[in-house]
Structure formats: C-alpha cells, structure tokens
Amino acid sequence: MTGNAQWERLQEQLDPATTVLLTVECQEGVVGRAGALPELAAAARASGALSRVARLVGAAHEADVQVMHAVAERRPDGRGSNGNARLFRAAARLPVQQHSGSTAVRIAEPIEVADQDLVVRRLHGLSPLAGTDVDPLLRNLGCRTLVVTGVSANVAIPNAVFDAVNLGYTVVVPGDAIAGVPADYTPAMIRHTLALVSTITTTEEVLRCWKSPRRVSRA
C-alpha cells in the first residue's frame, strides 16, 4: 500500500478501538511440527507466516486491539462433525486428530495467548464465522474491521473473509501472514480473489498503524 490517502485509510480501518485480530486454525494439530498437515505446517513456517501472526498478536496486545483465535476441533466420537465433502472424510483418517481438549487444538508456538484473548472453537463446517460465536462476539466488542490471519489460504481463510464481508465487516488481510499449499497458490488467491473484497496489506504496515494509531470516534 502506497500513497498518503491509502495510508490514512488503512490507519482509519485499523483503529484499535474498533478492530479485532483473528487468527485462523493456528493450532498445534494444523501448523505444529507434529501436526496432521505437515505440508501446510511447513509452508506456514517456511514462508514466515506463522511468525508474522505471532508478531501481530504481540503488537495487538500492546496496542489494546482485541485478539480472537478461531480453532477447528472434533469430538472423539465425531458427533456433529461434517462428512459431506472429501476434505472432511480425509481429515477423519489423518493420524493426528483435532480432538477437543487435546494438544492438537492448543494455539501453536510462537503465538502467545493473553488472558484477554477470546478463543472460539467449532465442531463443524469450513468457516470460522458461519455457525460459531465469532459474529455476535465481534458485534458485542464494537468491531468494524476484522484482520484475518492464519491458515489455510485454500479453505478457511477465504471462507472467513467472505463471511465477514457478507456480515458487514471491513476485512484487512496481511498477505504475508496467511499460508496455503502449494506455496505459489497463496499469492495468486490473494491477487485474484481476496483483493476484490478486502484490503490487502503487509504485517509491517499493520504494525506501523498500531504503533501510531489514528483513533476515530465510534458512530
């Protein structure tokens, strides 16, 4: 993002009083070193996306920006989980399962979870927002802008972005803080899909905004 007008617009969008940072499926069983999806975990770490998510979370804590972690999990008996797509059926056969209460559903290092963070867990579906507590929590928090980070650029991230836009939120995506597979798919998806409905920026620009925020009054 370049130009004074664009920068001022980003600052306004990222006002700490009306912004929530969402991390998507940044859990040990997904992006951890012993997770169920080693290719995705490797991409998230090799690209630096996971470490950038951690930096954003740390900066959000310092700037008093609300952080929310969206976690995908499954009951050991599978009750309530989807089975209506190949993705769900394949996930049910993986050697590492995202079982409720297990290590696999803990937020992965190096992301630090603070006491004030909100953790929203879902047992079904593809989206962190649809059919979960995320939307009512955002509304109760006075959120106008949702910053979306995490994995995967293939499924959960675009679902989160589209659902948030459909619900009336402004969405900001630090393109270097999301990851998918193969690695070259992520920038193409950002350019041809997410850029049409959200503000695409970088981790550094978000951090810069939160270091010197332009606060706007609530309407």
Neighbouring-strand partners of residue 201: 174
202 has a pLDDT exceeding 70: yes
Q: Could you give the angle at the alpha carbon of 40 between the alpha carbons of 38 and 45, nearest 5°? A: 90
- Work out the pLDDT band at 206, boundaries 50, 70, 90: very high
pTM of the model: 0.94
Q: Walk me through the domains of the chain, giving residue ranges and CATH numbers.
A: 16-32+50-211 (3.40.50.850)
* Residues 105-123 pLDDT 10s: 999 999 999 999 999 999 9
Neighbouring-strand partners of residue 103: none
In the chain the first and final C-alpha atoms are separated, in Å, by: 26
* Residues 12-24 pLDDT 10s: 999 999 999 999 9
- Work out the pLDDT band at 213, boundaries 50, 70, 90: low
Q: Could you give the angle at the alpha carbon of 128 between the alpha carbons of 166 and 107, nearest 5°? A: 145
Distance of alpha carbon 179 from alpha carbon 164, whole angstroms: 19
Question: Which is it for the CA torsion 35, 40, 45, 49, positive or negative?
Answer: negative
Contact 216, 18 (CB under 8 A): yes
Distance of alpha carbon 139 from alpha carbon 62, whole angstroms: 22
Distance of alpha carbon 85 from alpha carbon 97, whole angstroms: 17
